[in-house]
Amino acid sequence: MEGYDLIGDVHGCGATLAALLEKLGYHQRSGVYRHPRRKVIFLGDLIDRGPRIRLAVNIAKRMVEQGEAYIVMGNHEYNALAYTHPGPPGSHKRWLREHTPRHNRIIQDTLEQYRDYTNEWEDTLAWFKTIPLCLEIDGIRVVHACWDQALIDEFKQRRPDQCMDTSFLVESTKPGTQAYKILDRLTRGPHVSLPEGIAIHSGDGFTRKAFAPISGPKIHSSG
């Protein structure tokens, strides 16, 4: 094998993903994109925003399941898991990720495109639970937002498979916990406060008083 092609933040652009794979020399055989000498590493954020979310997920899922690709979790896959998971008893929360107007807007396109495919959506959520938060393979380290070695070491002690279980998912929604710190840093990155009186107004109507100086998926050499 010659190496890997790193693809990040597809965000529902399934047709564009298919065209990119073809351009990179991948071709469909038995419903799976394959390359004779290379594999893909998807860097998370397959869902939300785009017009062909189901296609994007199906392409990546089939490639991963057939050993033609690897994947790490993005914050949008995590958000979907928390958005659809009931809050624990006694938490006074109906859902782990509360259904606020902003959260509803973020996942709206995904839910609409899966509306008539409920079984497929359940299968997709089950697959999301198997996606690792980080990956080390052939001398490279891959994470969606920020490789924090200390937090990754802590995570590996708890979860040697580098995947979340239900208890970790629940804990990760509670600010200040170990799981929250790990999830936030690996999938969202570090946050820097803006100067007093300065704010960023995003296109989804959210006002930010902090920003992530490192944005987008990160790949690190371990050599």
- pLDDT band at residue 223 using 50, 70 and 90 as cut-offs: very low
Residue 206 CB-density burial (10 A; 0-12 exposed, 13-18 middle, 19+ buried): exposed
Q: pLDDT tens digits for 19-54?
A: 999 999 999 999 999 999 999 999 999 999 999 999
Write down the H helix ranges in 117-214: 118-128, 149-158, 166-172, 178-188
| Position 210 pLDDT exceeds 50 | yes
Task: Note the CATH number of domain 3-221.
Answer: 3.60.21
Q: Which two tokens stand for residue 11?
A: 């965000």
Tell me the C-alpha distance between 13 and 214, whole Å: 23
For range 157-176, the mean pLDDT: 97
pLDDT at 222: 39
pLDDT top residue among 157 and 209: 157
| Position 150 pLDDT exceeds 50 | yes
| Position 126 pLDDT exceeds 60 | yes
| Position 217 pLDDT exceeds 70 | no
For range 8-22, the mean pLDDT: 97
Q: pLDDT tens digits for 80-112?
A: 999 999 999 988 899 999 999 999 999 999 999
pLDDT at 205: 66
pLDDT at 198: 84
| Position 114 pLDDT exceeds 80 | yes
pLDDT at 203: 67
- Cβ atoms of residues 218 and 149 within 8 Å: no
Q: Which two tokens stand for residue 165?
A: 């279980």
pLDDT at 211: 65
